[in-house]
Copies of this chain bind each other. A is one copy, B any other.
Amino acid sequence: MLHVPAYQEELEASAGTLTDRVYRHLADRLVGGRFAPGDKLSLRAVAEALGVSIMPVREAVSRLAAEGALEVEPKKAVAVPLMRAAQFRDVTRVRIEIEGAAAAMACGADRAAIREIAAREKDFRDLSRARAPDLAAAVAANQAFHFAVYRAAGSAELLAIIERLWLRVGPVINLDLRENPQRLKLGEAMAFHAAALAAIRAGEARKAREAIAGDIRGASNFILSRGRLPE
């Protein structure tokens, strides 16, 4: 195995097999919007960049392909799937249904979970209000808030399903958000987050569902309006 200092820390820090680490590395970049739809990866290139052989990369990519986060056609380069507008509307509808349900379930959460949600809400709010927002950090904070809510729902199954959904929409959503400070400055997301937190605190399941649904719908409409999705 080659030694590539840049990745040493990351790969050695995390636990598990090499396959697991490569998987997490790619998954993080996918949900964080560090890859654009249509981007191509090479097993050998990823392997070399991470200082491992192509075997762990193959298995990690295989897993991500099974989850629809990557597309692998025989003998062709692995690619981040392109998402057509119709497809994007479909996932958005499903996300509203499922993540909305999780938000509703989060209303029964205990104090610690609610404190965690509140903390993540504040992080995102602070980042949104900054004069020159750090967009990468905002994307991460947005994710942290949402998953604090979903974790509070107390369903490991639902959480796994939502993680899979984010893996698929990450490249589409976060890429655009990363490049466009406008929407963040508008504060729409901030308002929905605050509403969700308030609803969860008050135990009002319907309002929590609607707040998260509104947040998802808002981001989705923004992406669709930018019109960079094919078809």
Contacts and interface: CB of A to CB of B under 8 A. Distances in A.
Contact of A156 (B63, B66, B74, B87): B87
B68 A160 contact: yes
Interface string A35-76: 000000000000000000000001100111111100000100
Interface residues of A, number: 30
Residue among A66, A93, A158, A161 with max Cβ neighbours from chain B (10 Å) = A66
A221 interface: no
Given A63-B63, A93-B155, A161 B160 contact: no
Copies of the protein in its oligomer: 2
Interface string A143-166: 000000000000111101100110
A65 B16 CA distance: 14
B17 A74 contact: yes
Interface in A96-143: 97-98, 101
Interface of A: 16-17, 19, 23, 58-59, 62-68, 74, 87, 90-91, 93-94, 97-98, 101, 155-158, 160-161, 164-165
